[in-house]
Amino acid sequence: MLSYRHAYHAGNHADVLKHLCLLALIERLTLKPKPLCYFETHAGAGRYRGDSAAADKTGEHAEGAGRLLDHRAQNALLARYLRLLHDAQPDYPGSPLLACAALREDDVVQLCELHPQDAPALRTSLRHEPRAHVHQRDGHEAARALMPPAQKRGLVLIDPAYELKSEYAQCVATIEHLRTHFRAACLALWYPRLPRAPAQPMLDKIMALAAADCLHITLDVREPLGDYGMYGSGMLIIQPPWQLEELVQPALHEAARALSPTAVVSIKRITP
């Protein structure tokens, strides 16, 4: 399970979707003055070289965020994301760094990363960030142990690698726990879109137990090919903040056009 290294995939089309949604979520949630707790289950190393051997091996960064770096964004949310990417060059900033850039001084950041190399790297990436607390532990276990936080308001990002089939069930269990014990939180679940739709049973179970409004956002950059390969990804957002859809939709459509002429964005609101 610890063989996954995000360095091979950082800045791919899935990160573009996830990070635009993350910035939009934080923008909307921080409209309210009370402090917010941002919690991430699988935080990774924090920053990644877009020109590293790992990135070159897969080419995913070049086909994802790399295609956006020279794009002149018309949408304000997309422009903000691209400024953060340019500021981090030659690195690609992972979700912990993007969240810290978007959150306020009195917000709190709780980050979980189990990998023995990535957890210390994450601490190094955030060494000048006093709001951030890095936990080298399983993110699902930590969500049950550390949530709800003292802040009472929260955004939880759940984004495992899905290397094992059991991770789908773990996501259901974690969300069920959070919906019971931290109902004020907005929950954002990332998942890969793969042939034969292995994530669909997980999504069906989560939407059945959520008992709240959900926003289901997908970005596909190509048609499914054969039985393997991620052709897109999705974000299921439980209890989305006010006007999130209106904020994120134009940014994703503009980004999708820059990523691929065949890219398709879908945003569906689901009510209980």
- pLDDT for the residue numbered 2: 55
pLDDT digit string (tens) for 167-219?
999 999 999 999 999 999 999 999 999 999 999 999 999 999 999 999 999 99
Q: Which amino acid is at 121?
A: A
DSSP bridge pairs for 157: 40, 188
Domain boundaries, the chain: 6-270
Do the annotations mark residue 159 as ligand-binding? yes
Do the annotations mark residue 139 as ligand-binding? yes
Catalytically active residues, by annotation:
159
**Which residues in the chain land under pLDDT 50?**
1
- pLDDT for the residue numbered 108: 97
Tokens 């304000």 locate to: 76
Give the start-end residues of each E strand in 79-169: 91-93, 108-112, 132-135, 154-158
pTM of this structure? 0.96
The answer to whether domain 6-270 has CATH 3.30.565.10 is no
Q: Rounded to an integer, what is the distance from CA 37 to the centroid of its chain?
A: 15
Tokens 């709190």 locate to: 108
Do the annotations mark residue 42 as ligand-binding? yes
Q: Rounded to an integer, what is the distance from CA 166 to the centroid of its chain?
A: 20
- pLDDT for the residue numbered 55: 66
Do the annotations mark residue 95 as ligand-binding? yes
